[in-house]
Amino acid sequence: MKKSYIFLFAILAVAVGIIYWSVSNAGAFASFAEARKAEGKEFQVAGVLNKDKDMIYDPTVNTDLFTFYMIDKEGNEQKVNYKGSKPQDFEKSEEVVIHGKMDGDVFVAHKILMKCPSKYNDTGSEYKEVSMN
DSSP 74: T
Instruction: Burial-class residue 79 by CB neighbours within 10 Å (0-12, 13-18, 19+).
Output: middle
pLDDT score at 7: 80
Residues 6+ apart with CB under 8 A from 85: 57, 59, 63, 64, 66, 132
pLDDT score at 2: 82
pLDDT score at 131: 60
pLDDT score at 32: 93
pLDDT score at 127: 56
Contact 125, 117 (CB under 8 A): yes
28, β-bridge pairs: none
Low-confidence ranges of the chain (pLDDT < 50): none
pLDDT score at 108: 95
pLDDT score at 3: 84
Q: What is the CATH number of domain 31-131?
A: 2.40.50.140
Give the closest residue to 44 by CA, choosing from 32, 58, 57: 32
Tens of pLDDT, residues 32-70: 999 999 888 999 999 999 999 999 999 999 999 999 999
pLDDT score at 26: 53
For residue 3, how many other CB atoms are within 10 A of its CB?
7
d(CA 25, CA 42): 8
